[in-house]
Amino acid sequence: MILPVVDVPTIETWAPCHSALVYEDPTFTGNALDVLNYAPTEMINRFWVMLRPAMVPDETVLHDFGVACVEQFTLTAEQQTSLDIKKEWILGNKTDAELDVVIDAEKANLVTIDQETVLARSTFGSDYVGGTTDPTAINAANLKQLAQQILVMALDDDSRTASWGAVSTLLNGDVSYETWAKDKMIELIENA
């Protein structure tokens, strides 16, 4: 795949909040791989710039990346089924309507998981009926919520939303995924 080359004035038209690409090196010019390897900028900001159809014109790569982010978690059978439908949609074997049904169901599940997580957090350290004083249970609730948030993002039919939503949620949840995310995106681009 031939990757487009962009410069800082182009990136500025996307209205970045903050990026060393814009503020520290106004002469930067490069493609998506150059952006990923631009060390002065935090990884999350590198992904913000490069996860755009203007940077990676093959939207399948962006969708596949969103799916790969979800696969970093242990999923329930229902979540895995939803993710499998997204994979089939990427291949053209499922319709937009079929994907929309899955998205709606997983958004509803996210509301339930959010409520469970809030309950677990609000009762931590108390003797509240139904609550927990176990930090392991709090961490499990947080991970369950994070996995569901990433799944909902990755299921989206917009490639930018699917990839950026998934990786930003993943990296904000745990920066130890930075190297994995960078390497995975490079692999997907090189194999496209």
pTM of model > 0.75: yes
Contact 69, 155 (CB under 8 A): no
The answer to whether residues 48 and 4 belong to one domain is yes
Helix 135-155 to helix 77-90 angle (10° resolution) is 20
Quote the percentage of the chain above a pLDDT of 90: 31
Instruction: Please report the pLDDT score of residue 123 as a whole number.
Output: 52
Instruction: Give the pLDDT means over successive 10-residue stretches in the chain (192 positions).
Output: 90 76 78 88 85 87 92 88 95 95 90 71 48 59 77 84 84 80 93 90
The count of domains in the chain is: 2
Q: Is residue 83 part of a domain?
A: yes
Cα(148)–Cα(11) distance, integer angstroms = 31
The answer to whether residues 105 and 140 belong to one domain is yes
Look at residues 192, 170, 190 and name the one whose alpha carbon lies nearest to residue 68: 170
Q: Is 5 helix (H, G, I), strand (E, B) or coil?
A: coil
HSE-up of residue 73 (Cα within 13 Å, Cβ side): 28
The answer to whether residues 133 and 81 belong to one domain is yes
Q: Is residue 118 part of a domain?
A: yes
Phi, psi for 181 (deg, rounded to 5): -60, -45
Quote the percentage of the chain above a pLDDT of 70: 83
* Helix and strand numbers, DSSP H then E, in the chain: 10, 2
